[in-house]
Every structure is written in structure tokens, then in C-alpha cells.
Amino acid sequence: MFLPAVLLTFWFADPPSKADYSPGKAMIREYFRLQVKQIQEQCLNDLTTREQWEKRRPILRQQLLEMLGLWPLPERTDLKPVVVGVSDFDKFTVERIYFQSFPGLYVTANLYVPKPAPKKAPTILYLCGHGNVVKDGISYGSKARYAYHPAWFAENGYVAMILDTLQLGEIQGVHHGTYRLGMWYWQALGYTPAGIECWNAMRALDYLGTRPEVDMQRVGVTGRSGGGAYSWWLLAADDRPSCFVPVAGIADLQAHLLEGEADKFKDGVITGHCDCMFMINKYRWDFAQVAAMCAPRPLLLGNTDKDDIFPVAGYQRIAEKVRKVYALYGASEKFALLEKQGPHKDTPELRAGINAWMNRWLRNDTTPLPPEMLTSIPPERIKVYDRPPADAINTTIHDTFRKAATIELPQTPEVAKEWWSGKKEQLRQSLLEECFRNWPSEANLPALNPQFAGEVVHEGVRLRAWDFTSEAGIALRLWLMSGDKVEKPSLCVLNVLDEAGFREWCDDLGPAFGKLLNRPGEWKRNDAKFAQNQRVLASTKWAFAAIAPRGIGPTRWADEGSAEETHIRRRFALIGQTLDGQRVWDVRRALATLRSVPELAKVPLWLQGKKIMAGIALYAALFEPDVARVDLWHLPANHREGPTFLYVLKVLDLPQAVALLLPRKVFIYCRDEAEAKTWDWPVGLQRALGGESLKIRMVRD
């Protein structure tokens, strides 16, 4: 083993104890504030003419479809619609329907048709929010909760179709991948259930276009809460509907990430929303850009004043920017706010506003509406399935809708050499464009500004520290350990620490170095490990550096796996990043800080990490060519396990990322042959290229 075990076994530390995270929390709040400010300043502020907007709009649509996981659009396969039955009511019938929006992806719906059945009638597509009805363990879907909406429209001469959601339908899929299930690989695939909900709505329009009762020139779309959000996705993705009323379904980034109107949402309302409410914000949009895509079609934005998950300020800021786009069309009367009193609830006042807006723009009827009379619809009479289809993939669509890239090795060494010479740079550029496009640019990158934080020499061990700026709002500390007599090291090894690794780094040094380590609380030195360090440092001229990326060690902001940590991680996708991706950036900046230390000039740099941090170290090295060697301990087998970078599985997986480091020295440490077999791909490539720099080593835990 080339380094002492004390410096390599990061994961044996005890679980972190409760601590005061206020410095880390303050840092991450400031970071998100600065990021949101950057995005806000770029959102629709430069528009001055209609021509500008119309030139930009097709580009924005493609961007949004990509961020929803819908670009290129899936094939419009046969819907295979089935009307399983018809329920008869006084003024309308309800057809119980299912169709396949994607092969095996079943959508349950009800079609409300007035009596007598009209031809070319104005039509409403109602998109349900999170309101499933379950009785005796049987799911009737969200369409049962919101049935009074299509019933009113049918009683008043409209055809109305209402859709179940993916998660809260008769077949229950998953909306909560990152919200509570730890499925961070969704971000690596570029998957969000918002895309499924949008696609299902688009395919519902396809179905409506086949019905003789429907006038496709007069289709309105509405829904509330989750259904309000799906209305936003549809209005931006599809030009066929002519009128929209999203209710309680949108707020801007500032509201989602920074502020709310209730104590439990004081740091942003994202904690009140599951994954179906969000695109993966690769292109760093604010939500006003989504709403503006409706212009100049009539758009009424509904909300109540005590809605704690869609705060007033959050939608009013959107409205302010959207009005400017409608004004470019001379269509200011087609955009309005429907603001009523009340909590996050479907109130009579909101329903009256929806109905009046649809009457005005779909029927040219401004007659005041009579008092609302709601028709009760028994769930049993609108249920679609007696038994769900055996081939339904609704519960696993998140694993199959977005396909990961597959990269096959050429069969012969001669072909492999030529192929890899071009493929290597292509993959590297794709990583920058797809996964790390929102790293700081030169225009907004603050100076590294390394500041010497102090030095402690104790029992032959010298520890120094430097504070540096990783990016605006993120200040980190780098440590450098060497023997007290070493003036110029012969080698410097940077260790990328996770939380357990940081605590072990502190334990192995001891409280004598506490003023530089910034570890809260009290701890004891591991005397055996300290003695081992002493021996190694006394017998070599090596130096060992350590970096705890943001959210770890001194900047820790939450317990790992806690709800608080989950929602901080979720915030990164809404600014076009991931936490792991920005930690790679932190390591790159730590390497730059090391290079700024005079005695380390021209000293070989090695980089290493364990488990997820091995992946962080790997990617940092990819973009820092003067890292001479990378040591990866128990690197995850694939990006489904981590680390998580936006869209990375669209480009490659970890075996190909390892290969990108060749011909630099790479050591991968595995527990057994099964783990070692994971790396057959880069080993096979190396064999074809004729190199020997990649080594697989077996080690004990």
C-alpha cells in the first residue's frame, strides 16, 4: 500500500453526532441567494420586441422539452384507446377510458360528454393534482377527487376530459424519487415525472383530436396544484390548446429556494413539492419563462392569498415579467391574475373564475355565471379498471423512459486505437456541455484568493491551512500535513474527504490541531494512527493535503440522509447543478490552491478518494491534467449509485470515465473479484491501447 492506512480508510469513523450547522447553513443559503439572483437577472429582461421573442421561442421550447426529459420527443405510438364502459348521468355521460401514452404506460381518464352528444364543442382538458381517492384499499385515482370540475363543464355544454396522474392514478407510479426515496440517479438520467405528466397530457390532446364531439380549435386546459404545474408544462410544450387557467401550480425560483409565507417554508417552498413539479433546470430558467410561452393565448393565473406552498410574492413576480411579453403582442387583456382569499384549497371563488375565463375565451360569452351547483360523482361509477393491464410499466417508467448511453468497445485493437483517439475528447466535451455547463464561468468566477489560515507544529507533525473561495458564496478550507523538517515535499497527495473521512482526519491528528480543523465539539486523538503518521512523515518527504467539499466538515449543513439534506440537494437541480457536481468544482479549486503554495511548485500532485468521493476525485482529475495519479477506493460501479451529475448517464458511465484518465496512472482498489470485474471496460480498452497505467488492486475493508 503506497500510503499509510490512516490516510486511506476514511469510512471507519463513527456516524456524525448532532452539531451546530449554522455556518454551513448560512453559507448554503447565501449561495442559493446569489444563484437565484443571477437567474432572475437573465429572465426575460432583455426583451424589447415581439420579433425577438418569436425568434427565441422555438429555442426555449426545445430547451424545456429537454429539461422535462422529452427531447427529442418520444414517438407518438398507437394510443390503443379503450372505452371500458359508459356511466349515465342526468345531463351528461362519462366514458371510462384508458390509453397508452407510451407502450405500456397506461393513462386512466374519464370523458364527460353533454347530452345530447354535440359535434365540435368547446373542450376542457382537466389535469388533476395530488388528490387520490382510496376506499377499502382500492385507488380510484385523482379524477374521482376532482370530478366536479368536468361535471360542471359538461352540464354547461363542454366536452371535458380528466386525467389521472402517474403517482395517484388507478395504477400508482412514482413522483417522489428524490423527494423521499433517494433516487438521485433520476438526475443522472435526466428524468423527471414532470415530463411524464406533460407527455400524458399531450397524448390526451392526440386522443381528443380523434373525437367528433371535440372542437380542437377551442380547447382549454386547467388544473390545480400539481395539475396547475402540469398545465404550465403543457402550455409551453404544445400550441394546440387555445386557453389556460393553471391554479396554485407555480411560483418563481426565489419562492422555491429562498422564501415562503409560513415558518415551515421559510427557506423556500420546495420542501412542500414532489418531483413532478419541476423540470431539471439545465438552462437555468426562472418560471416566468415557462408562463411566457403561452403568449398570446389567453392565460389566467389563479391562486389564493394564504396558500403556503404557492406564496403570493412568488406568482406575482412571475406575472410582472409575463405581462411584458403579452404587451409585445398587444394582448394585455389575455393575461390576468385570479387572486382570491383562502388557503391551498379548491374554493368556489377560484372555480367561478376558471369557468368564467373559459366561457369568455372559448365561447365568447361574458354572461355572469349563476351560483355554483356541484354534482356529486360516486367514485365507483367512474373507475376504469377491474384489473390493471398485466403489461403496465407505470410503476417502473422512471427506470425505462430515459435511456442511458451505451458505449461498446471495438472488437480489434487497431480499430479501438483510432476510435478512442476521437471519442475521448468528444466525451470530455459532452461532460462539460451536459453535466457541468453551470460551473462558474470566467465572467462570474471570483478570485481564488487563498488566505493562509495558520500553522500548528506538534510532535514532529506540521499542519497548515488555507482558506479559499470556490465560487461566489462558497468559502472552504484546505489542509496540508507534512513533517516538521520538510521544506519542499517530493510529492503531494490530496485526499477528498466525506463526513466520516473528515472526522477521521481530525481524530488521527488530534485536538492539538483543533484551531485549524474547525471541528465542532470535543474529540480524542487516535494515538496509534498519529504514531503511524509520525513514522511516515519522518521517513519520507511526502505531504498530505485534505479538502472537505461544501456541506462536509466545517461547512456541514445537515445530517446525511435527513430531510433537510435531501431538500438542499434537490435545490441544486433547480439551478442547473447537482451537489456532487459542485463538489467536483470544489476539488478543482482546492488543487488550484495547492498550486499557489510556493514550495509545491512543480511537485507531483496525486488525488484520491473513497466511495462517492472517489467519483468526485475521478471527475476533478479529468479536468485537471497535471494530476499525475488518481487512487480510487471502492469506486461505485455506476452512476446510479453515485456520484450524481446532471445527464451524466446520457453521456457515459463510470467505467468510461475511468478510461478518460488514461494514460495517467489510475489505481482502483476493490474488495473482491466481483467488484474488480466492474472495471473490465477500461481494462479492455487499455489492453487494446497497449498501456499499463491502470491497475486493479485487492484490499481488505
Say if residue 360 is in the same domain as residue 461. Answer: no
- How do residues 121-163 score in pLDDT, each as one tens digit? 999 999 999 999 999 999 999 999 999 999 999 999 999 999 9
Query: Where residue 502 sits, what CATH number does that domain have?
Result: 3.40.50.1820
Q: Please write down the long-range contacts of 206-210, taking CB distance under 8 Å and 24 or more positions apart.
A: 206/76, 206/79, 207/79, 207/81, 207/97, 207/99, 207/161, 208/123, 208/125, 208/159, 208/161, 209/240, 210/81
Burial of 443 (0-12, 13-18, 19+ CB in 10 A): exposed
Answer with the residue of higher pLDDT: 199 or 267: 199
Does 156 lie in the same domain as 106?
yes
Of residues 518 and 331, which shows the higher confidence score?
A: 331
- In terms of Cα–Cα distance, which of 558, 328, 588 is closest to 440? 588
Segment 645-653 mean pLDDT? 98
The last residue of one of the domains, among 351, 384, 400, is 400
Q: Is the domain of 449 the same as that of 569?
A: yes
Confidence band, pLDDT 50/70/90 cuts, at residue 15: very low
Whether residue 33 sits in one domain with residue 66:
no
Name the nearest CA neighbour of 661 among 615, 613, 604, 592.
615
- Cβ neighbors of 147 (< 8 A, separation 6 or more) are 110, 162, 377, 379, 382
d(CA 271, CA 311) in angstroms, rounded, equals 13
pLDDT of residue 159: 98
Q: Mean pLDDT, the chain, as a whole number?
A: 94
Q: Can you give the pLDDT at residue 21?
A: 62
The mean per-residue pLDDT over the stretch 668-673 comes to 96
Judgement on whether residues 306 and 172 belong to the same structural domain of the protein: yes
Q: Is residue 198 part of a domain?
A: yes
Condensed to tens digits (0 to 9), the pLDDT of residues 265-320 reads: 778 999 999 999 999 999 999 999 999 999 999 999 999 999 999 999 999 999 99
Q: Looking at the structure, do residues 536 and 612 belong to the same domain, yes or no?
A: yes
Percent of the chain past pLDDT 90, that is, above it, reads: 93
Rounded CA-CA distance 577/533 in Å is 37
Residue 232 lies in a domain: yes
Do 225 and 171 lie in a common domain?
Answer: yes
Task: Look up the domain containing 481 and give its range.
Answer: 5-13+22-37+436-698
642 φ, ψ to 5°? 125, 170
Do 32 and 72 lie in one domain? The reply is no
The letter for the amino acid at 110 is: N
682 and 584 belong to one structural domain: yes
Let me know: does 84 contact 381? Beta carbons within 8 Å: no
Residue 10 has pLDDT above 80, yes or no: no
Last residue of a domain, one of 384, 400, 416: 400
Q: Are 645 and 615 in contact (CB under 8 A)?
A: no
Residues 652 and 619: their CA atoms lie apart, in Å, by: 12
pLDDT over 70 percentage in the chain: 96
Q: For residue 678, is it within any domain?
A: yes
User: Is 336 inside any structural domain?
Assistant: yes
Q: Does residue 490 sit within a domain?
A: yes
* Inside any domain, residue 417: no
- 552-603 residue pLDDT tens: 999 999 999 999 999 999 999 999 999 999 999 999 999 999 999 999 999 9
Q: What is the pLDDT of residue 132?
A: 94
pLDDT in tens, 486-507: 999 999 999 999 999 999 999 9
Query: Among the three residues 400, 423, 457, which one is the final residue of a domain in this structure?
Result: 400
* Antiparallel, parallel or unpaired: β 92-102 and 214-224: unpaired
| pTM: predicted TM-score of the whole model, two decimal places | 0.95
Q: Is residue 85 part of a domain?
A: yes
Shared domain check, 443 and 367: no
**Same domain for 254 and 320?**
yes
How far CA 294 is from CA of 240, 289, 291, 315, 331, in Å, comes to 11, 9, 6, 16, 12
Domain assignment of residue 311, yes or no? yes
Count of structural domains within the chain: 2
For residues 263 and 307, membership in a common domain is answered with yes
| 367 in Cβ contact with 359 (< 8 Å) | yes
C-alpha cell at 532: 503511524
Q: 198 and 162 in contact (C-beta within 8 Å)? A: no
Mean pLDDT within 251-278: 88
Question: Which pLDDT score, from 0 to 100, does residue 257 have?
Answer: 96
- Residue 443: predicted pLDDT: 86
When pLDDT is cut at 50, 70 and 90, the band that residue 262 belongs to is low
